Amino acid sequence: MGTPIGVLQTRPLSNYLQQQLTNRYTLFKLWQVPPDSRREFLDKHSDLIKAVVGNGVTGADAELIDSLPHLEIVASHSSGLDKIDLDKCREKGIRVTYTPDALTDEVADMAILLTLATARRICEADRYVRNGEWKNADFKLTTKLSGKSVGIIGLGRIGSAISKRAEAFGCSIGYHSRSRKTNSRYKYYPSMIDLAKDSEILIVACALTHETRHIVNRDVINALGSKGIIVNIGRGSHIDEVELISALVEGRLGGAGLDVLEHEPEVPDLLRGLDNVVLSPHVAASTVETRKAMADLVVENLEAHFTNKPLLTPVI
Closest to ligand GLV by CB, 56 vs 254, is 56
For 76, phi then psi, to 5°, come to: -85, 135
Closest to ligand GLV by CB, 176 vs 291, is 291
Instruction: Provide the mask over 25-64, with x wherever binding to ligand GLV is found by CB under 6 A and - wherever it is not.
Output: -------------------------------x--------
DSSP-based helix, strand, coil % in the chain, nearest 5: 40, 15, 45
Applying CB under 6 A, the span of 77-85, 120-128, 141-149, 166-174 interacting with ligand GLV comes to 77-85
Residue 80 touching ligand GLV (CB under 6 A): yes
Q: Where are any strands of DSSP class E within 261-301?
A: 277-279
Terminal CA-CA length for the chain: 30
CA distances from residue 106 to 70, 209, 277, 291 in whole angstroms, order as listed? 35, 22, 21, 10
Residue 78 touching ligand GLV (CB under 6 A): yes
Closest to ligand GLV by CB, 119 vs 206, is 206
Which run of H or of E encompasses 55?
none
Mind giving me the DSSP string for 231-257? Answer: EE-S-GGGB-HHHHHHHHHHTSS-EEE
Q: Is 176 a catalytic residue?
A: no
- CA of residue 305 relative to chain centroid, distance: 26
Residue 100 touching ligand GLV (CB under 6 A): no
Q: Is 291 a catalytic residue?
A: no
Residue 236 touching ligand GLV (CB under 6 A): no
> Quick one: which of 9, 79, 104, 232 contacts ligand GLV (CB under 6 A)?
79
Among the options 235, 238, 291, 305, which is catalytic?
A: 235
Residue 103 touching ligand GLV (CB under 6 A): yes
Applying CB under 6 A, the span of 24-32, 62-70, 73-81, 249-257 interacting with ligand GLV comes to 73-81
Closest to ligand GLV by CB, 27 vs 81, is 81
Selection from 164, 148, 173, 165 nearest residue 227 by Cα: 148
Closest to ligand GLV by CB, 56 vs 255, is 56
Applying CB under 6 A, the span of 25-33, 76-84, 132-140, 266-274 interacting with ligand GLV comes to 76-84
Among the options 282, 291, 300, 305, which is catalytic?
A: 282
Q: Is 264 a catalytic residue?
A: yes
> For residue 83, which amino acid is it?
K
CA gap 96, 316 in Å, rounded: 5
Closest to ligand GLV by CB, 56 vs 151, is 56
State the sign of the Cα–Cα–Cα–Cα dihedral 146, 276, 244, 11.
Answer: negative
> For residue 280, which amino acid is it?
S
For 189, phi then psi, to 5°, come to: -115, 110
CA gap 121, 278 in Å, rounded: 8
Task: Considering only residues 283 through 312, tell me which ones interact with ligand GLV, judged by CB under 6 A.
Answer: 285
Selection from 174, 177, 181, 167 nearest residue 202 by Cα: 174
Applying CB under 6 A, the span of 10-18, 78-86, 113-121, 141-149 interacting with ligand GLV comes to 78-86
Return the active site residues.
235, 264, 282
Chain residues that interact with ligand GLV, rule: CB under 6 A: 56, 78-80, 103, 285
